Chain A
């Protein structure tokens, strides 16, 4: 990046900052610190190891405009009925361009003590909790989010409580102009032995090269159990930047599923800290890209305590000139004996021009551990296709069955039955459409 660009961007950003500070005055110190950090660092470039395969140029080369208002007036309930999971019995928190929509959201009676609300309504109570888990991360996009976030979900499940139904966080983008940016912030706290299912959907209604930059912090205390399903299905022009920062307590269980289907450029940073013994942490993901899409999952799983299991399973299906990036770093600290860490990344490349960069990285400082990793990049298995044809299926049906199986490996790990079924159908219909075109 040339120095001129930095100054121009900084001007853009400084102007935008003046507008944002009217949201949540108690957030000002956090915002100011974020802005200062971002001014020092600027956007990451491909010279940095963590961004080697993913250039942010599509994001940095467009103007920067904060969406200080939401496009809520354009929307009615009918739009919500169209989106995935809307037919299930869930509580919905709806955010339009990063702003909470009271009108479209719907919260039923969750058990007493459970909080399901928007973050901005609770700024004064939780201002000291925001940034606790993400604060040490040097990723400039977090600094940018600190400076500019407007709203997001605030979910608090007290000890020994459960969400009575899944909570669906719906992030809609109505952006019509290139460069319009929304920054959302989620905070999830599950106290000891708390349970719940959270769905996070990111959808765009427009076709502009607009960006979403979302930071989620989740604190899972001892014995808590959270399933978190993320569906990123934005328009193929949009830019989706996300980071998840989790801290897990003793015997906590966290299953995080990432479905990256949309966006021109998507990047999911996943930062899991396994702080206490007996944790089970699963990161499970599927990316399906076509055209010039790029889907990047970049994770660091820090085993800081003994007897923890972590599993990372990521499958990708790539068409056209699209790209997939998988970076899985597993760090096993000296005290983390009896760690069981598994990592697989499988890729189906269905075009000669598609590419995948996969980078497993195991750093092990304990001696009594089990760590495995494997990555494959290839076409559909020819022997398997012949096997299916020899049973009467035609080539196309055989290919579809194999692809369905490939996605099924990931989808089947979703524990919530109805959500799993719906994602299975959604992924399957995409594949069928996609494959008919090819």
Chain B
């Protein structure tokens, strides 16, 4: 699914990613953990194609195709989805209109028929019910005035509707209470199948009680310094990062 080879990126003169190597196969969930400033969010942004990063070395293949040359919208249409750490408020843009445009862009690219207003509403309402989002959400402008938890659930709703092959969740758990965390995790678990993969970036082990990872990676100073299975997350919870950093 995803193959990252020796990826190096900088912002202005500062090197943030210093050679990332990561392989994600179909059907897998990978967790990326690490202290603040280690490069987790930069990795997510670079995968989604955010401007302002200078890629100095390395390659990123999605199903065998190099995506680093693609625009953010082309990556999205190819099946990359970034759940934003800080979803952007867009006053004046109606949520229904936005989401239907996005869904139809992606469907068009996949050669699927675009959804008309009625079928779209039917589908989105069913998904919203699963995420315990009130229907009045659809009438509100995108993320405008939403609480932190509502914004994160809205990200998961978009992910569900777009059905990406690779979802990157950037600290989707931050600021969520335990109920919201469960709803968000359920949303991720529902889309999980043998043809897609998820990368979950988090500070805390508690999300990984709900979204069980196949692999856990520790990112520190722009490199993955340790990989393991889900027990690594428990070790980090107990011992922190210091024991790894000393050895790095």
A 199-250 contacts with B by CB, 8 A: none
Whether, in the assembled complex, B92 has its beta carbon less than 8 Å from a beta carbon of chain A, the answer is: yes
Contacts of B88 in A (CB 8 A): 381, 383-384, 386-387
Indicate if the CB atoms of B158 and A391 lie closer than 8 Å: yes
Whether, in the assembled complex, B49 has its beta carbon less than 8 Å from a beta carbon of chain A, the answer is: yes
Indicate if the CB atoms of B162 and A391 lie closer than 8 Å: yes
Stretch at the interface among B68-76, B125-133, B176-184, B189-197: B68-76
A 73-94 contacts with B by CB, 8 A: none
Report if A407-B92 is in contact (Cβ < 8 Å); known contacts: A388-B98, A389-B71.
Answer: yes
Report if A409-B106 is in contact (Cβ < 8 Å); known contacts: A387-B84, A389-B72, A391-B162.
Answer: no
Contacts of B106 in A (CB 8 A): 392
Stretch at the interface among A117-125, A263-271, A394-402: A394-402
A387 to B84, CA, bound (A): 8
A393 to B81, CA, bound (A): 13
Contact with A along B158-201 (1 / 0, CB 8 A): 10001000000000000000000000000000000000000000
The 8 Å CB contact of A405, one of B51, B72, B76, B93, is: B93
Contacts of A392 in B (CB 8 A): 73, 76-77, 102, 105-106, 109, 162
- Among B72, B76, B91, B158, the one with the most A-chain Cβ atoms within 10 Å of its Cβ is B72
Write the nearest CB–CB distance from B228 to chain A, whole angstroms.
30
Whether, in the assembled complex, A406 has its beta carbon less than 8 Å from a beta carbon of chain B, the answer is: yes
Whether, in the assembled complex, A408 has its beta carbon less than 8 Å from a beta carbon of chain B, the answer is: yes
Nearest A-chain residue to B72, judged by Cβ: A389
Whether, in the assembled complex, B101 has its beta carbon less than 8 Å from a beta carbon of chain A, the answer is: yes
Indicate if the CB atoms of B72 and A386 lie closer than 8 Å: yes
- Among B73, B75, B77, B91, the one with the most A-chain Cβ atoms within 10 Å of its Cβ is B73
A314 to B81, CA, bound (A): 36
Write the nearest CB–CB distance from A395 to chain B, whole angstroms.
8
Nearest A-chain residue to B87, judged by Cβ: A387
Counting contact residues on chain B (CB < 8 A from A), the size range is 20 to 34
Write the nearest CB–CB distance from B50 to chain A, whole angstroms.
6
Contacts of B97 in A (CB 8 A): 401
A 124-156 contacts with B by CB, 8 A: none
Contacts of A165 in B (CB 8 A): none
A388 to B49, CA, bound (A): 12
Indicate if the CB atoms of B93 and A408 lie closer than 8 Å: yes
A392 to B71, CA, bound (A): 10
Whether, in the assembled complex, B31 has its beta carbon less than 8 Å from a beta carbon of chain A, the answer is: no
Write the nearest CB–CB distance from A233 to chain B, whole angstroms.
22
Indicate if the CB atoms of A405 and B141 lie closer than 8 Å: yes
A395 to B51, CA, bound (A): 13
Indicate if the CB atoms of B49 and A390 lie closer than 8 Å: yes
Report if A401-B98 is in contact (Cβ < 8 Å); known contacts: A384-B88, A387-B88, A392-B162.
Answer: yes
Report if A406-B92 is in contact (Cβ < 8 Å); known contacts: A386-B50, A388-B98, A390-B48.
Answer: yes
A393 to B71, CA, bound (A): 10
Write the nearest CB–CB distance from A402 to chain B, whole angstroms.
7
Contacts of B48 in A (CB 8 A): 390
Nearest A-chain residue to B97, judged by Cβ: A401
Contacts of A383 in B (CB 8 A): 88
Whether, in the assembled complex, A404 has its beta carbon less than 8 Å from a beta carbon of chain B, the answer is: yes
Indicate if the CB atoms of A386 and B51 lie closer than 8 Å: yes
Q: Which chain A residues have a beta carbon within 8 Å of chain B's beta carbons?
A: 381-384, 386-395, 397, 401-402, 404-409, 412
Can you pick out 7 interface pairs between chain A and chain B where the beta carbons lie within 8 Å of each other? A384-B90, A390-B49, A392-B105, A392-B162, A393-B105, A397-B105, A409-B91
